[in-house]
Amino acid sequence: MTAALQQEILKAVLRALLGALLGWLFGQWLLGLTLGIALYLLMHLRYLAVLRRWFDAPKQVELPEPGGIWGEIFESLLTLQRRNRKRKKRLAAIVSEFQASTEALPDAAVVLGERGEIVWLNTAARTLLGLRTPQDLGQRLPNLIRHPAFTEYFTQGEYEGEVEAPSPIHAQLTLAYRIVPYGNGQRLLVARDVSEMRRLELVRRDFVANASHELRTPLTVLRGYLDMMGADAGSGPLASWRGPIEDMRAQAQRMESLINDMLKLARLEADSPMTRQDLVDVPGLLRRVVDDARALSKGEHRFETEIQPELFLLGREAELQSVFSNLVANAVHYTPSGGVIRVRWKADGEGAQFSVADTGIGIAEKDIARLTERFYRVDIGRSRASGGTGLGLSIVKHALERHDGRLRIDSELGVGSTFSCQFPLHRVQQGPVVQEKIALS
């Protein structure tokens, strides 16, 4: 019990005794006691009424200084009010700084409430999205940005990655939308202009495709002359040039492979999403791929396959063949003689998985993340010696993306590597499950 409360109890007792004493003098001590207590309660009711008015309008009502327990209460409230004012000023400064910084952003930023309604937006949101203040505040964002890709992204609720769609007011602008959940059901929409980036990518793809097409004609002429010279290099005046001619033919063949891979990659990047899909006989396709790999191996490796029959995919056979053949051929190129290459194709809980495991030289962990980059090679000398172009895994990556698949790479130096392709359930068509295992030496 605080000292102020003890004093207040003492005051109540003394007032009651004083009232009883005055009442006793007039022969009504009980009435005097009641009046003393009533006057004491009326004083407290007066302070309660003042406190109630202060809560309703703290800026208009001034709290008295009565002393005692009410004095402590009023002083504590005033102290709390001063602290809240300071805190409010700090928060206002933070909000002001945040708004000023986001106003300076070139990207559109929109704060959304629990129902997707617009709470706040910056200047770039007005320029890129055509939003207006205060007219659009409180409006649900999907009602203002109606592109199907954005609507699907917004309603799915799992905001992983971003989605690209045209600007609602500038059809020539391509925006990348990203939603970040935060707080209690709130979300932040960020939209950035990627039009120039997409235009440069288009220019790059067109340049690569056009340059590759233009290179094929002179390369065909060169290969023709080299073939003619190679026929005369066995004997005759060109016999001394046999070695250089063979080297030139090998380099011309490597350049032709490089041009073909560049054209294939350019087609994969430029093609629109697949509208026509075939039911691809993956087990039959894999058997042909393994047969080609055996021919490439020339008997230097042991192949083991585990292929689930009647497990098909919806997609394009040529692109899937490119995926499988690139991975199996890489296993042949980077596995020393006598090594084992295991090819598996089976259904799992997520759909279907294709994997190639080898006992080759392996890949360092620092290189794994960059393997799908164009022209990236872990061992440049060995890759060139084996005829590699550095585009194989880039082709695999793009072809998998067009089939909604993903690539996983596990490797250890000196032990071997495993390349796994996971295909989603909606692309899998499955018949009776009968496992077969074939060991080819």
pLDDT of residue 286: 92
Same structural domain, 325 and 262: no
Are 254 and 137 in a shared domain?
no
Rounded to the nearest 5 percent, the helix, strand and coil shares of the chain are 55, 20, 30
12 and 62, same structural domain?
A: yes
pLDDT of residue 284: 92
Structure tokens of 302?
């042991």
- DSSP letters, 102-113, are HHT-SSEEEEE-
CATH code for the domain in which residue 321 is found: 3.30.565.10
* 22 in the same domain as 144: no
> 429 pairs with which residues across the strands?
312
Residue 120: per-residue pLDDT: 86
What pLDDT is recorded for position 37? 79
> What integer pLDDT is reported at residue 423 of this predicted model?
92
Q: 146 with 243, same domain?
A: no
Give the domain extent around 298: 278-440
Query: Which CATH number is 152's domain given?
Result: 3.30.450.20
Residues 290 and 432 in one domain: yes
Total domains, the chain: 4
- Which of 98, 115, 146 finishes a domain? 98
Contacts of 7 (CB under 8 A, 6+ apart): 68, 69
Q: Are residue 372 and residue 259 in the same domain, yes or no?
A: no
Quote the strand ranges of 281-370, DSSP E: 302-307, 311-315, 340-348, 351-358
Do 116 and 137 have their domain in common?
yes
Q: Could you say which of 223, 252, 270 is where a domain stops?
A: 270
Backbone angles phi, psi at 178, to 5 degrees: -140, 135
Tokens read off for 252: 């011309």
Give pLDDT, residue 354: 93
∠147-148-154 over CA atoms, to 5°?
90
On whether both 33 and 145 belong to a single domain, the answer is no
| Residues 92 and 112 grouped into a single domain | no
Same domain, 208 and 285: no
203 and 186 within one domain: no
Last residue of one domain, picked from the residues 132, 159, 193: 193
- Digit-by-digit pLDDT tens for the chain (441 residues) are 467 666 677 777 777 778 777 777 777 777 777 877 787 788 778 778 878 888 878 777 777 777 777 777 778 888 888 888 888 888 877 777 776 766 767 888 888 888 889 988 888 888 888 888 888 888 888 888 888 888 888 888 778 788 888 988 888 888 999 998 887 778 888 998 888 888 877 777 777 777 777 777 787 788 777 777 777 666 666 777 777 877 787 777 777 777 777 776 666 666 655 555 788 899 999 999 999 999 888 889 999 999 998 899 988 888 898 889 889 988 998 889 889 999 999 988 888 999 999 988 888 888 887 877 776 666 544 444 455 556 778 888 888 888 888 899 898 888 889 999 999 988 888 764 333 333 333
Strand runs (DSSP E) across 30-156, as ranges?
Answer: 108-112, 118-121
Give the domain CATH number at 229: 1.10.287.130
pLDDT at res. 441: 35
